[in-house]
Structure 1
């Protein structure tokens, strides 16, 4: 069964990107990580917010450019109000969350749909669509930027911890959304 998973690397103070969506903060923390590899291998497609899709890639211009350090080769489904005129290989753009999610589920098959981006995650959480939340907590304080949970939908969302482990220099925390 396809599950919807919100996964992100997060600073200790709760940010997934620095000011103006800067992702360079992650660069000094890149290292082989079996937990990140597991997330990638469990994913059959990515459901990505437009801001995240167009944001600063700390690996731009290198072999590691793109999701999962350039190792992602599946479909990215991007939710946007501004669908580009030109197609992008491996990327489909939608202006409707239901259609975007349906396409991401179809592409994922029996694997997970992984959400990338705080705003699209918020929209999915508000609608009760998220099955699991996975955080790779990085040992750094950013002090400002894009929070992993800017708004969780204005209501309590109960979670059940399914995993807590050291992951590289940080920690991996995984929670099932309780329905």
Structure 2
């Protein structure tokens, strides 16, 4: 069964987007391949994103690198939203509840990963006990404000364990 993995590029002070969801800060840090991101991309079978992330800012907007993984991901995408478009784009499925979205994404991913994109969906998956792994790709910048990688006021403590042989910031969720 596919594992749910939340991956994000983050500033050293814990933000995955600037104020208002701005992703332009990331452009200058997309300078070359990252071995952990390359291993993840090779194993992603589906993407599960929140509606804000799906329709939000892309540091590569308007270029050949627009989209997930610099435009290199070409597979099923599931968007968790209560406001689906009337005519969804090809390859994108809009789902109204978390458990159904996760089930559909896992089925589509097969033995690969379901890559969770978006802080809110990641928080929901974590709270529901559905998130299996977390990969954070830190960038050398302090944003000072914006969208935190995890913002769960009143949330519970979650233990993480490093995954042997992986990046220093690739963890499994300990249950």
- Partners of 1:44 and 1:152 lie apart in 2 by 31
- The Cα RMSD (Å) is 1.5
Residue in structure 2 matched with residue 108 of structure 1 by the alignment: 109
Which residue is equivalent to 2:77?
76
Displacement of 1:34 in angstroms is 2.2
CA contact (8 A) 1:126 1:153 kept: no
CA distance in structure 1 between the partners assigned to 2:29 and 2:153 by the alignment? 27
Q: TM-score, normalised by structure 2?
A: 0.95
Unaligned runs of 5+ in 1: 167-171
- State the alpha-carbon separation in 1 of the partners of residues 165 and 39 from structure 2: 15
Per the normalisation by structure 1, the TM-score is 0.92
Equivalents in 1 of 2:129, 2:144: separation in Å?
29
1:163 to partner: Cα distance: 5.3
* Equivalent in the alignment of 1:19: 19
Asked whether the 8 Å contact 2:44–2:113 carries over to 1, the reply is yes
Unaligned runs of 5+ in 2: none
Deviation of 1:113 after TM superposition, in Å, equals 0.6
- In the alignment of these two chains, the number of paired residues is 174
The residue number in structure 1 matching 2:126 is 125
Give 3-state SS (helix, strand or coil) of 2:134's partner: strand
Contact preservation (8 Å) 1:3, 1:131: yes
Q: Which has the higher strand share?
A: 1
